Amino acid sequence: MHIARRMATLGTETAFEVLEKARSLEAQGKRIIHLEIGEPDFDTPMNIKSAAKKALDDGYTHYGPAPGLPELRAAIAKVMSKSIGVQISANQVVVTPGAKPIMFFAILACVDEGDEVIYPNPGFPIYESVINFVGAKPVPLVLREGKGFRFDIDDVKNAITQKTRMIIINSPHNPTGGILTKDDLREIAQLAVKHDLIVLSDEIYGRCVYDGFQHTSITQCSGMPERTIILDGFSKTFAMTGWRLGFGIMPQHLVPYISQLQINSTSCTASFTQMAGVEALLGPQNDAEAMIRKFKRRRDIIVDGLNEIPGFRCQKPLGAFYVFPNISRTGRSSRELSEYLLNEAGVACLSGTAFGAHGEGFLRFSYANSVENIQQALDRIKSAVAKL
Ligand code: PLP
């Protein structure tokens, strides 16, 4: 069968491939500790599950409006206006099955063939994939370990050309756990206004922050509400990865375009899932807050443990649930070491290069796993690396 040429430009997310490899080793009887996949190991809070069950009984089993149910759009506008500190109306919200479609739809709707898009590298692999898919040029913005995996604003200035259409930022950041400061956001905003650029701001880890850090959205900066698309969702904050529930907040004139893409692809997001989303946002927040406290403890354990392994150097990130140790002093490439750790130590993690060329020299570990498993993984990694 003929496969369309454009498929050759589409990338993927290696995490799912490594997960598959790890599962096949498990099928052979090997015990694998999973530190590769970016999903909370906690169960979805009970009040959210109950809301979904009630919604099913109440008949939320039909198609809904393409941009989302009014109940959920209103809840998102209410909660996000407060947390972001900028007034958002329900008409600026589009609800999608997971947050990922916002990435796809925003780039499809706003970026032409031949345009340039600046994106973080290392970074979530789907940015580069979709930029290539629409025939635009991905322009990597290097994140620097020495700056806590933040960028150098001069690198942003140098990356902007006449053809730049969009800048993608992601804070807290996957895969490094790094965050952008208010000054970083202000500097990016000034450049975006000066060069008339759209900013796609991936804030899906906005509530996964530690040590008193306060997440700020670039939308707060002057001139930004009219040029920012915020990507956010329920997967990480409420342990709802399998529910597929996310949203975008954007200038109102963009909503019909993003909705049209939704109509052409998924029609709408599952209705009972959306009603569960209303409960997630407006109901009690203690379970979500308890998850963050647990993540913080795990972060401290994994960072300290990795720093004790010869050849590893690991920063303590302020956000998300990932660490991104520098492993260049082990003398192995990222890919070699990740494969070695899977096969020899039974620890699944990702090569830094799964997040772009500038991830070479690093590994990504997700600490969305129990303290016992993290401790055992650290012991196994230490013994395996000692044998290198
Ligand atoms: N953005 C980032 C940075 C992510 O890490 C992820 C998921 O791993 C997503 C977006 C997509 O989230 P969702 O599961 O809601 O589609």
Determine the distance separating the centroid of ligand 1 and the alpha carbon of 386, expressed in angstroms: 34
Which domains are present in the chain? 5-44+286-387 (3.90.1150.10), 62-282 (3.40.640.10)
351 contacts 342 by C-beta, under 8 angstroms: no
- Ligand 1, atom 8, residue with closest C-alpha: 38
- Residue 37 binned pLDDT confidence (cut-offs 50, 70, 90): confident
Determine the distance separating the centroid of ligand 1 and the alpha carbon of 293, expressed in angstroms: 21
Q: Give the N- to C-terminal CA distance of the chain in Å, as an integer.
A: 46
C-alpha dist (Å) from residue 301 to 294, 296, 316: 11, 9, 10
- Residue 13 binned pLDDT confidence (cut-offs 50, 70, 90): confident
* Ordered DSSP codes for 354-367: GG-GGGTTBEEEE-
Helix (H) or strand (E) run with residue 20 in it: helix 14-27
Determine the distance separating the centroid of ligand 1 and the alpha carbon of 124, expressed in angstroms: 8
32 contacts 25 by C-beta, under 8 angstroms: yes
Which atom of ligand 1 is closest in space to residue 39's alpha carbon? 8
Q: What is the pLDDT of residue 341?
A: 97
Determine the distance separating the centroid of ligand 1 and the alpha carbon of 205, expressed in angstroms: 9
- At 242, phi and psi to the nearest 5? -80, -10
> 14, 102, 105, 174: which to mutate for ligand 1, most atoms within 8 A of CB?
174
> 14, 76, 100, 202: which to mutate for ligand 1, most atoms within 8 A of CB?
100
Which atom of ligand 1 is closest in space to residue 101's alpha carbon? 16
Helix (H) or strand (E) run with residue 79 in it: helix 70-84
Average pLDDT on 44-54 reads 98
CA dihedral of residues 306, 311, 316, 320 (deg, nearest 10): -70
% pLDDT > 70, the chain = 100
Paired strand residues for 247 = 95, 232
139 contacts 116 by C-beta, under 8 angstroms: yes
Determine the distance separating the centroid of ligand 1 and the alpha carbon of 125, expressed in angstroms: 10
Determine the distance separating the centroid of ligand 1 and the alpha carbon of 128, expressed in angstroms: 14
Q: What is the pLDDT of residue 68?
A: 98
Q: What does the mean pLDDT of the chain come to?
A: 96
- Residue 69 binned pLDDT confidence (cut-offs 50, 70, 90): very high
221-231 pLDDT, tens digit per residue, is 999 999 999 99
Average pLDDT on 352-369 reads 96
> 76, 105, 124, 170: which to mutate for ligand 1, most atoms within 8 A of CB?
124
Average pLDDT on 350-371 reads 96
Average pLDDT on 167-179 reads 97
81-104 pLDDT, tens digit per residue, is 999 999 999 999 999 999 999 999
Paired strand residues for 138 = 117
Q: With a cut of 90, say whether residue 31 has pLDDT above it.
A: yes
Determine the distance separating the centroid of ligand 1 and the alpha carbon of 356, expressed in angstroms: 16
- At 319, phi and psi to the nearest 5? -150, 180
Q: With a cut of 90, say whether residue 39 has pLDDT above it.
A: no
259-277 pLDDT, tens digit per residue, is 999 999 999 999 999 999 9
Determine the distance separating the centroid of ligand 1 and the alpha carbon of 228, expressed in angstroms: 18
Q: With a cut of 90, say whether residue 12 has pLDDT above it.
A: no
Taking every pair of C-alpha atoms in the chain, what is the biggest distance, in angstroms? 59
C-alpha dist (Å) from residue 288 to 138, 193, 237, 296: 35, 35, 6, 13
- Residues lining ligand 1, CB < 6 A? 38, 98-100, 124, 170, 174, 202, 204, 233, 235, 241, 246
- CA 191/CA 312 separation, integer angstroms: 36
- CA 207/CA 320 separation, integer angstroms: 8
The vertex-287 CA angle with 235 and 76, nearest 5°, equals: 50
Average pLDDT on 319-329 reads 97
- CA 259/CA 94 separation, integer angstroms: 7
- Residue 16 binned pLDDT confidence (cut-offs 50, 70, 90): confident
> 76, 201, 204: which to mutate for ligand 1, most atoms within 8 A of CB?
204
Q: What is the pLDDT of residue 14?
A: 80
Determine the distance separating the centroid of ligand 1 and the alpha carbon of 180, expressed in angstroms: 18
C-alpha dist (Å) from residue 283 to 46, 68, 75, 77, 243: 11, 19, 11, 15, 17
